[in-house]
Chain A
Amino acid sequence: MANFKEIMSRPERLTGGHRMCAGCGGTIAVRNVLKALNPEDRAVIANATGCLEVSTFMYPYTAWKDSYIHNAFENAGATLSGVEAAYNVMKRKGKIDDTYKFIAFGGDGGTYDIGFQSLSGAMERNHDMVYVCYDNGAYMNTGIQRSSATPMYADTTTTPAGKVSDGKMQNRKDLAEIIASHHIPYVAQTTFLGNFKDLHEKAEKAIYTKGAAFLNIMAPCPRGWRYPTENIMDMCKLGVETCYWPLFEVIDGKWLLSYKPKNKLPIEEFLKPQGRFKHLFKKGNEHLIEQFQKEVDDRWEQLLKFCEV
């Protein structure tokens, strides 16, 4: 790896001036994944419909330096499959000399839910591409509706907490594990921590591993999670330190834990700063937090087993 400071000062491939919200996790994810590209390498970016698409490529302006394609909501995986196939044949025919890398970005709506089949197909066919999910745990673009990535009890606009409801009643899908079951060369889960070394290293491995790779990045949305915009790094840290969002890799089927907190924090630390979990802290709802903690503990124990820690 080149000098980390140099890497972090590489020119931006997603330029400023786009219309994403201040403090948006999605753009932080994109900028840091793209920093892992060797500056001499070209890329084609595919993007599922969502905040990222409608805010970065509003005709006639694009914020993307690389070639970019938005097709629809549910098909970034399949769309990029076609681009990669085109590259292979054009390279073989001598129509292209340059090295191109293929990276798809989708939110959890376009990835866990409506784009799940298209993603699964692209991963199973092992196209030489990276699919990056910026997971903010709800359909934020349409106004904070629940997704299968939304954690249990979250108050969303389609699972509002009310007199007879505690918010979303179902558990969150574990997409990284599902994609790992496709037996592709590289799967990893990360978020924004410290100097972004974890994210960078995983993005670089994902991009430069031949074959299909999947990155799941927790990318908080201040609007949807309801915490002060400037606290995004704290939110990510709490997600990791409570083991709500563990950091790991699956390389050729081998599970590797990237980080084990010295003192695992109670889940309240992660839930409390977020407005979407406010109702859990009302008197009489202690059992909901207990249930949430149990789910986090069970998943963490399972992950430790996978990683043989």
Chain B
Amino acid sequence: MTAKSIRERLSGNEAVAIAMRQINPDVMAAFPITPSTEIPQYFSTFVANGQVDTEFVPVESEHSAMSACVGSEAAGARTVTATSSCGLALMWEELYIAASCRLPIALACVNRALSGPININCDHSDSMGARDSGWIQIYSENNQEAYDNFVQAYRIAENENVRLPIMICQDGFITSHAVENISLIDDKDVKDFVGEYNPSEYMLNKDHSMAVGPYDVPAFYMEHKKQQAVAMENAKQVILDVAAEFEKMTGRKYSLFETYKLDDAECAIVIINSAAGTAKDAIDKLREKGKKVGLLKIRVFRPFPADEIAEALKNVKAIAVMDRCEGFSAQGGPLGAEIKSALFNHCSTAKVINYIYGIGGRDVRVENIEEVYEALFNVIKSGNIGQAYRYLSLRD
């Protein structure tokens, strides 16, 4: 480890706000919404105390937040925002525009259920709703990961082969508000790691003006979409390269996903964000009893590392894909669909159950995860999947 590590105790929101201070972006445009509100609050204090050079634009809605971000980033400024839930939903139109204009904006998404009914607690329906918008999506199990992922965000988004916006997601309240031990990186090391933003094309370039956001006819629209799709494919290698550099600096290793005791596992669950920590506890308990159980935790959901996931799961007999989000497809959630499609392309014969769990902030306990593994062993034993689409911890 080359960099100086600073021991701290911080909430996830505070950790992300500190990453933003260290990055010192040019513009932040944001609107408050629980549970991400603290991020622009902390950041406003940094602005008020002259700790950053950033222009803070306190817009009148999340739609205007992302609209201002599009204007600012297109003008040539490194731009940041934060939101949750309905705020992200209100940005929906603008998310697509930011991505199609190839603007590497970074967004801190603090995952919260979508209305209605209104609910302020954690689930992933907000960012999952934005999964097809052309944004890179990286998820974080805990405060440390939220911080580390944010430090890596611009290096990925601004890479010339990518140039796409990026959202760094963490679980509302569970990690955004819970205070945990964390290792921060020295300010100067973050600054050096992230580097200056010098875009090749921008509106305030005095050498040539630039027009952004054309009317695109059928003769061009499809090629533009293909370019975006290629950029998203390119992002995968860039994410790995940036992670390797980050590991050199901090000693903390990141990849497209994390596996936990998966190598010899008969049963595995695939999960996103904070509940992975709970699942690891359940795995440790079950391993003590000799049960071969493991886990695959998604870090990068967009681009979706389908081949790598299928490879990692190739020896597993039964899999539970855990969606903290309904899809209303009448057959499961969005992660379920992605995983099953990845397995199908690799001719997997694994039995797959898709669970909807923890939505609207429903608690996920170690014993709930143990139940899931028990169900998987039953599937292996009987050879029947039974219900392939289930709810976990649903009250009668």
Contact = CB atoms under 8 A, between A and B. Distances in A.
Interface stretch (A4-12, A20-28, A59-67, A169-177): A59-67
Nearest to A19: B215
A70 B214 contact: yes
Contact of B93 (A72, A89, A90, A98): A72
A103 B94 CA distance: 21
Interface stretch (B145-153, B203-211, B383-391): B203-211
Nearest to A66: B209
- The A interface, classified by DSSP as helix, strand, loop or mixed, is mixed
Interface in B197-222: 203-206, 209-217, 220
Contact of A78 (B59, B204, B206): B59
- The B interface, classified by DSSP as helix, strand, loop or mixed, is mixed
Interface string A96-123: 1110100000000000000001101100
Given A59-B215, A62-B214, A69-B212, A81 B64 contact: yes
Interface stretch (B4-12, B73-81, B157-165, B321-329): B73-81
Interface string B60-79: 11011101111111111101
B54 interface: yes
Interface in A58-88: 58-60, 62, 64-72, 74-75, 77-83, 85-88
A8 B319 CA distance: 73
A86 B220 contact: no
A89 B47 CA distance: 12
A59 B72 contact: no
A139 B67 CA distance: 22
Contacts of B55: 85-86, 88-89
B217 A72 contact: no
A85 B210 contact: no
A63 to B, nearest CB: 9
B249 interface: no
B97 A71 contact: yes
B68 A82 contact: yes
A295 to B, nearest CB: 31
B265 interface: no
Contact of B29 (A81, A87, A98): A81
Interface string B74-105: 11110100000000000001100100000000
A269 interface: no
Contacts of A83: 71-72, 74-75, 203-204
Nearest to B25: A89
A260 interface: no
B215 A72 contact: no
A59 B217 CA distance: 7
Given A70-B213, A98-B206, A118-B63, A81 B57 contact: yes
A163 interface: no
B370 interface: no
Nearest to B60: A121
Contacts of B72: 82-83, 85-86
A57 B215 contact: yes
B27 interface: yes
Contacts of A74: 63
Interface string B176-216: 00000000000000000000000000011110011111111
Nearest to B209: A67
Contact of A90 (B26, B94, B217): B26
Interface in A26-62: 42, 44, 46, 53-54, 57-60, 62
Interface residues of A, number: 47
Given A46-B71, A117-B60, A69 B54 contact: no
Nearest to A79: B71
A75 B27 contact: no
Contacts of A77: 64
B57 A85 contact: yes
B67 A58 contact: no
A87 B204 contact: yes
Nearest to A44: B203
Given A44-B75, A59-B215, A71 B64 contact: no
B69 A42 contact: no
Nearest to B28: A85
B206 A86 contact: no
Nearest to B224: A59
Contacts of A120: 60
A98 B27 CA distance: 19
A124 interface: yes
B68 A117 contact: no
Given A67-B204, A85-B27, 19 more contacts: A68-B212, A69-B211, A69-B212, A71-B70, A72-B97, A78-B64, A82-B73, A83-B71, A83-B72, A83-B204, A85-B57, A85-B77, A86-B72, A86-B73, A90-B75, A95-B204, A97-B206, A120-B60, A125-B58
Interface of B: 26-27, 29, 53-55, 57-61, 63-65, 67-77, 79, 93-94, 97, 203-206, 209-217, 220
**Top-7 shortest CB links A-B:** A82-B71, A82-B68, A121-B60, A86-B77, A78-B64, A86-B75, A82-B72
25 contacts: A44-B75, A44-B204, A54-B215, A57-B214, A59-B217, A62-B214, A64-B209, A67-B203, A67-B212, A69-B70, A69-B211, A75-B64, A79-B70, A81-B71, A82-B57, A82-B69, A82-B73, A82-B79, A83-B75, A85-B57, A85-B72, A86-B204, A92-B53, A100-B204, A118-B67
